[in-house]
Structures are given as C-alpha cells and as structure tokens.
Amino acid sequence: MRGEILRLYKSVHTWTGLVTGMLLFVCFYAGALTVFEEPLAHWASPPIGGSISTENADRLIEMTLAARPEATKDFTLRLATANEPARLTWRKSRNDEVVWSATLGADGELRVERSNVFGVGGFVDAIHRTAGLPLDRETGTTVMGVVSAIYAVALVSGLILVLPSLAKDFLALRLTSNLKRMWLDAHNLVGVASFPFHLVIALTAVVFGLHEPIYDALDHVVYDGRLPAIMRSTGPFAGVKRDEQTAPMKAVAELMAAIAVVSPEFSLTSLQYRDAGTRGALVRAVGEDPRFLSRGGGFAVVRGATGELVNVDYLPEKQSGWTAAVSPFFALHFGSYGGEPVRWAYFFLGLAGAFLFYSGNLLWIESRRRTARRHGKQVVQTTASRFMAAASIGVCLGCVCGLSFAIVSTKWLYGHVEDLEAWRHWVYHAVFFGAVAFAFLRGAARAGVELAYVAAIAALSLPITSAVAVAAPWLGPWAPADPTSAGVDIVALGAALCFASLARATARRAELGPTDSVWSARRPQQLSPCAPIPVSSSRRAAAVGAGEGDDIHG
C-alpha cells in the first residue's frame, strides 16, 4: 500500500481516536458493568421481607389503589422473582418526576416509599449511554451517537492501517523491555481481534443515539410532518378507544395465561396498567423469550377487564418485517442472548475496549518523544502531550473511581437522604471531576500512581461494605442477600488487586523510566503540569526500557 495512503489513514485514525477515546473509555467501562446489571441491583437493593409469590400481586394492586387512588391512571406491576417480591411503581402525575413504590411486607401490610427510580443498574446504564456527561439523558445520548459515528471511522481507518503487517504481527505480543512496542502490539491485537464486536457496538450506538434526529429528518424530508401520526396509527395501541365505564380487572394469573396461549415460552417480567378499573383498561405485558435475540424482550397488549389480546405483534415470536430485523441489533449491542458465557464474553470485551482507548492515547503521547529524537531535536514535552496525559489519567481513573464510590454510596446513604438517585449522580460527578482536577494539579506521572491506588480502594470498598454489614449491621449497610451479591464482592476484590498492581507498575515507570517521558516523576524542575518542559535526552533504565527508535504510530 502506498506510503501517502497509509499516512492519511494514520492521521484519520489518530485524530478520530483522540477526539472520542476518553468518552468511549467511560462508555465501555460502564457498559462492561451493565452486563451484570441484575447482580449489581441485588447487591445494592435492601432486603424486603414477605411473600414473593405472584398470587400476592392481585392483593398488592387492590391495597395500593385503595390507599393511593392517584396510581390508578398509570402504574407498573413488577412481577415477583426468586429474590424479590412483587412491586408496584407509579407517579402522581405524568409531569411528576418522583416515582413511588409499594410492596407487601413480611406482616402482609402495605409498604409505600419513594422509589429508587432506576436503581444501581439503571444508574450505570445511564453513565454508559451518556459517558457521564452532566447533561440530560436525551442530550447526552445524542452526543454519544455523534461520538459513535466518529468511533466507527476510527475503527475502519485503524484496520486499514494494520493491514500491510496483519499476517506477520496479528498474534505478536512482544513482552520485552521495549514498552512502546509492547503497548503497540497489545493495542493492535485487541483492536483487530475484537474488530467485529466494536463495529457492531459502534453502528448500533449510532442508531440508538441519533434515532430522534433521524426521525425528525425523515419527518421533514420524506413524510412532510405526518410521521408522528403514522407512528401512532401503526403503534401497539392503534385503534383502541377508551371506555371509562367501571369494571373489575382480571387476575394477574389470567392475564399471564392469555399470553401463554399465543407464546408459551414468553416469560413475563412486568405489567403496565393504563386506566385500571375501567372497561377500557389496557395492560402492556412485558417479558423475555430466550429463543430470540432482543433487548428487553418484547411485549403484548391485553385488555385488563376481559383478558382479550389486543396486539401481539411485538412479541419476539410474532415479530415480522422491520421489527424482527432491528431487534437482533439491540441484543448484539447489550449481549442479552446466549446466557452466562456470552455475558462474561461481553464483560471482558467491554474492558478490552476501554483498554483500547486508553492505550491509543498512551501511544500518541509516547510517539511525540520518538518523533523529536528521530529528527535530532531536544525532547520537549509539549503542552498538548502533557494535557493529553493528565486528561487521560483523570478521565479514565476518575470514571473507575466514581462508579465504584457511587455504587457503594447506595448502601450507606439509603434511608438517610430523600433522593438517592440524585445523590448517586452527585457522588459520581464529584469523584470524577475531582480526579480530573487532581490529575492536572499533580501531573500525569504522580496522579497515575495515586489515582490507581484510589481506584483499588474504591473497588475494595464493595466487599468491605458487605463485611461491615455482616459484622456491624447497625451502621447501616445490609448484608449480601444471596450468592449473586457475594459474586459482586468477589469480582470487586479481583478488580482492587488489578488496580493495585497497575499502581505499582506505574510507580516503577515513574521512578525508573526515562526522564524525558511525560510519565516520569523525575524532572529537573517543577512546573505546571500543563506547561511545556524541556528535558534532557533519555537514558534507558535497567528495569524499564523506553523502546527508543521504534517506529510506532500514535
């Protein structure tokens, strides 16, 4: 391939990667955690006594609507699982952001409280969708749709860039003292091996993030403003008229049986009631079918008063045309198929993706030294290099620390604050922006060590909190309710050990590595972390090699 073409794709890959890398690190790290959204929710959810049988759901609905009639218009019944009883959630009005929750206690009495709107799993998913940007969810998701489009360009240009040496270097991972070569080998290996996964994630994220602008454009260009009406006319509630005449609701078991007739393998998870207690009441029955690729399964619409099926076109077994074609993309993005092996594969692929973006930034920073040395110039760490190094450390480790502390805060703040969801976001952003500021104040070399230790402590705080809950439950946290919760503690302990090892390796690099590197803590003079510092030619340390003279790309 001609040299000028390779240089073009190298430039495209480098700058698209630098523009999107740190935001995508946050998305991929948080996305890896969302694969185990349910175990995280179990770990962070307080234990609830009482029966967990579905039969109690009818009694729960009756008691809740008698005590809180404002819930009648629109409420959701989350069906009982092996670990949690049935639960009702609703808002007092459509414009009210506060969500209320009701369940039956161990004594059979109704318990009503302000709901933890999204829970820990929903919180991590929100960070995954928006990269933790301090924006509303819709705006943040749109921004990440644009970032994902740039990310797709970086993927394709990166693949083209390594094609000439793909056969020779694909499985090459040279674990030598040449750190730059080792990082480049690891970056290329992870990138090429996981290319199909990343391409699917990028393209589906573009659709998820930009679907509203896409619909608006189609409405303006193609449908002349008629798209909303067309969508309503073909939606799941199309043609259904309201009837406010009073009528009793069918039992939950009867509604489940009606759906089982048309889709026996469909497993219900929730029932969303509209206009309960009237002849026109509709129930949106949401569930999953393990035989089909889908995100969040599907749903059917049933008349609450008669059990008559209104619409089954959105059941995985009954989907056709465009819906059937789109659903697998959701499953491929979120890994909601194939059971535990696929979930663990997506977990490690998500972490590998985070590594890919971090290592790309590191390679760009280190390549600045090589370029200067190759031209016989004195090595000067530019403002751009120092800025990128500090930002990479602050954003990446800030995300890691922020997520761990935000998850742990759920147990410590429960019962002490009114809006736990808001507090969780405050904790995350306070830790995240604090880490970014700390990285710029301390410099990349020192902050890389210190924040890695903080990340280890943050991960370790999960099993420590569980241990405190067992030993001293009066302090607030509750003990793990099941083996799933204990599994979260084990994984967090493993993560703490990994971050501690990273901190030690980074410390060795800072103390023994070449002094002309931005990662060196040994500098001839103390300047602002973002100011350019002229430094002497590097010397190769005995314990850590610099890899001078290697022709690598950033």
Per residue of the chain (554 residues), give pLDDT as tens: 566 666 766 677 676 777 788 898 999 999 999 888 888 888 887 766 555 566 788 888 999 999 999 888 999 998 877 667 788 989 887 777 778 888 887 777 888 887 765 678 889 989 999 988 888 888 888 888 888 888 888 777 777 766 666 555 555 555 555 555 665 666 666 666 677 888 888 888 887 788 788 878 878 888 888 878 777 766 777 767 778 888 899 999 999 999 998 888 888 889 999 999 899 899 999 988 777 766 567 888 999 999 888 888 888 777 766 666 666 667 777 776 677 888 888 898 888 888 877 777 777 776 666 655 655 555 666 777 788 889 989 999 999 999 999 999 988 888 788 788 889 999 999 999 999 999 999 988 899 999 999 999 999 999 999 888 888 776 667 666 567 778 889 999 999 999 999 899 888 877 877 776 777 777 544 444 444 444 443 333 333 333 333 333 33
Q: Please state, in angstroms and rounded to a whole number, the distance separating the CA atoms of residues 400 and 312.
A: 42
Give the pLDDT score at 499: 94
Inter-CA distances, 225 with 215, 218, 239, 411, 433, Å: 10, 9, 21, 48, 42
**What is the C-alpha separation between 154 and 162, in angstroms, rounded?**
12
CA distance 110 to 130: 37
C-alpha span between 206 and 204 (Å, rounded): 5
pLDDT at 283: 92
236-240: long-range contacts at Cβ-Cβ below 8 A with a sequence spacing of 24 or more? 236/284, 236/299, 236/301, 236/310, 236/311, 236/313, 236/314, 237/282, 237/301, 237/310, 237/311, 238/311, 240/280, 240/282, 240/301, 240/310
pLDDT of the residue at 116: 65
Contact 476, 412 (CB under 8 A): yes
**What pLDDT, on the 0 to 100 scale, is given for residue 49?**
54
- Phi, psi of 337, rounded to the nearest 5 degrees: -160, 160
**Rounded to an integer, what distance in angstroms lies between the CA atom of residue 118 and that of residue 419?**
12
Residues 310 and 288: their CA atoms lie apart, in Å, by 19
Contact status, residue 402 vs residue 431, Cβ threshold 8 Å: yes
For the chain, domain boundaries: 3-42+126-201+338-534, 46-115
Inter-CA distances, 294 with 37, 254, 290, 357, Å = 16, 26, 9, 28
If one counts every other C-beta atom within 10 angstroms of the C-beta of residue 536, the result is 11
Predicted pLDDT of residue 406: 94
Residue in the block written with tokens 């991960």: 459
The Cβ-side half-sphere exposure at 536, using a 13 Å CA radius, reads 7
Q: With 0-12 CB in 10 A as exposed, 13-18 as middle and 19+ as buried, what is 52?
A: middle
